[in-house]
């Protein structure tokens, strides 16, 4: 079987695909769901009735915008509002609009892995909220945290919405929070969304819609390998499978091979054999409760200053300081 033995890969994506598809059991990282097609599919997910997270957080921000903006602007000095994984900024616009209405001085620095998402956000903001001073930054959370640390001397508020942290296992989440702690000063804030444990059926439905949007989103990682690395995955030979463990609060997504098959990835010179019913683990979407968030924050040396939630406590935004 031809196998690439050298360790030179053109991109991190190529390296990680090689690593994950030659491992046992197989895995791929959900951060590679997001190209132009994936961004659109995720927007469709956010618009689905089953995917309660987006509406829930939107309503929390809208209902509490005065208190939230008071926190952000606490000392009256101009500040920089960073946002990790900004996406289409739908929820953030509630806060941006309120900041503009109150004549608060700030600049907005959205960060996303997808240049396409950033371009769309910048165009939309120029039209809808031309007063906002916007400086987009493309990259992964890990690269860009460095840039945040080295930024101008203004106070920093870092937004991390949408329960994006849920893609990280707890040890990675602690590492990530520690890195965030390193780039902030005493009066800076981290404002972060954490989807909460709830009726397991509600969670399962959010990641397993009947219309197949989540399935297409999950399979988009194989579509990207086909497009960008000359892969020949037959997407119909895989099914989307979701599990949720109510004890640990972990939702996991898989692609399951319906047949015995061998895929070939030209750019990697790699054959990828699958047994019938063999899996590729593609994503975790962790659900939390106060105790777990408290524990994560404590491990990272952060304090919970306050939190905002809906009536049902199905989703919470926490404010961390150091
Ligand atoms: C963007 C990571 C928050 O895990 O809920 C939606 C991505 N995956 N449906 C999530 C996702 C399947 C989403 N995050």
Name which residue sits closest to atom 13 of ligand 1, judged by CA: 164
Dist. CA 226–CA 277, nearest whole Å? 21
> How many helices and strands in the chain, by DSSP H and E?
11, 14
| pLDDT band with cut points at 50, 70 and 90 for residue 7 | low
Name which residue sits closest to atom 14 of ligand 1, judged by CA: 164
Residue identified by tokens 């959205």 is: 110
Nearest alpha-carbon partner for 46 in 226, 171, 207, 221: 207
**Bridge partners of 280?**
26, 255
| Cα-to-centroid distance, 265 and ligand 1 (Å) | 27
Q: Where are the alpha helices (DSSP H) in the chain?
A: 12-21, 36-46, 52-63, 65-72, 92-101, 115-128, 141-149, 170-183, 200-206, 213-229, 290-300
Segment 219-248, tens digit of pLDDT: 999 999 999 999 999 999 999 999 999 999
Give residue 147's pLDDT. 80
Q: Where are the alpha helices (DSSP H) in 188-319?
A: 200-206, 213-229, 290-300
**Bridge partners of 156?**
80
| Cα-to-centroid distance, 103 and ligand 1 (Å) | 34
Dist. CA 18–CA 268, nearest whole Å? 7
Mean pLDDT, the chain, whole residue set: 95
- Min mean pLDDT across 102-106, 109-113, 192-196, 244-248 is at 109-113
Sign of the four-CA dihedral 203, 206, 210, 214: negative
| Cα-to-centroid distance, 26 and ligand 1 (Å) | 20
User: Token digits for 238?
Assistant: 């895989």
Quick check: CB of 87 below 6 Å from ligand 1?
Answer: no
| Cα-to-centroid distance, 164 and ligand 1 (Å) | 7
Q: Which of 42, 220, 284 to mutate to test the pocket of ligand 1 (most atoms within 8 A of CB)?
A: 42
Name which residue sits closest to atom 9 of ligand 1, judged by CA: 207
Give residue 281's pLDDT. 99
Dist. CA 75–CA 167, nearest whole Å? 34
Q: Is the pLDDT of residue 165 over 60?
A: yes
Percent of the chain with pLDDT over 70: 98
Check residue 197 and report its DSSP letter: P
- Burial pattern 48-79, b for ≥16 Cβ within 10 A else e, equals bebbbbbebbbebbeebbeebbebbbeeeeeb
| Cα-to-centroid distance, 153 and ligand 1 (Å) | 33
Give residue 290's pLDDT. 98
Sign of the four-CA dihedral 294, 296, 299, 300: negative
Atom of ligand 1 nearest to the CA of 206: 9
Q: Which of 164, 203, 287 to mutate to test the pocket of ligand 1 (most atoms within 8 A of CB)?
A: 164
Give residue 3's pLDDT. 56
Quick check: CB of 250 below 6 Å from ligand 1?
Answer: no
Give residue 113's pLDDT. 84
- Average pLDDT rounded to a whole number, residues 23-41: 96
| Cα-to-centroid distance, 257 and ligand 1 (Å) | 22
Dist. CA 126–CA 69, nearest whole Å? 21
Percent of the chain with pLDDT over 90: 88
- Min mean pLDDT across 20-29, 73-82, 166-175, 277-286 is at 73-82
| Cα-to-centroid distance, 51 and ligand 1 (Å) | 9
Dist. CA 45–CA 85, nearest whole Å? 16
């Amino acid at each position: 079987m031809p196998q690439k033995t050298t360790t030179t890969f053109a991109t991190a994506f190529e390296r990680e695909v090689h690593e994950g598809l030659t491992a046992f059991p197989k895995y791929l990282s959900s951060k590679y769901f997001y190209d132009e097609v994936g961004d659109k599919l995720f927007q469709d997910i956010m618009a689905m009735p089953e995917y309660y997270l987006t509406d829930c957080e939107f309503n929390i921000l809208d209902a509490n915008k005065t208190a939230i903006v008071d926190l952000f602007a606490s000392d009256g000095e101009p500040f920089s509002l960073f946002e990790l994984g900004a996406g289409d900024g739908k929820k953030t616009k509630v806060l941006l609009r309120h900041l503009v209405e109150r004549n608060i001085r700030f600049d907005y620095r959205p960060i996303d892995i997808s240049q396409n998402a950033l371009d769309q956000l910048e165009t939309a903001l120029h039209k809808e909220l031309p007063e906002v001073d916007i400086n987009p930054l493309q990259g992964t959370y890990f690269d860009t945290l460095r840039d945040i640390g080295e930024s101008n001397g203004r106070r920093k508020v870092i937004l991390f919405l949408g329960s994006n942290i849920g893609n990280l296992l707890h040890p990675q989440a602690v590492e990530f929070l520690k890195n965030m702690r390193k780039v902030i000063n005493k009066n800076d804030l981290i404002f972060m969304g954490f989807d909460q444990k709830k009726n397991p059926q509600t969670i399962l439905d959010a990641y397993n819609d009947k219309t197949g949007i989540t399935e297409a989103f999950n399979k988009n990682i194989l579509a990207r390998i086909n497009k960008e690395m000359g892969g020949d995955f037959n997407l119909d030979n895989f099914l989307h499978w979701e599990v949720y463990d109510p004890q640990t609060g972990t939702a996991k997504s898989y692609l399951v091979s319906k047949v015995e098959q061998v895929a070939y990835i030209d750019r990697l010179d790699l054959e990828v054999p699958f047994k019938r019913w063999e899996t590729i683990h593609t994503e975790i979407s962790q659900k939390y409760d106060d105790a777990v968030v408290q524990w994560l924050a404590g491990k990272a040396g952060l304090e919970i200053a306050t939190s905002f939630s809906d009536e049902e406590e199905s989703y919470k935004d926490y404010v961390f300081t150091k």
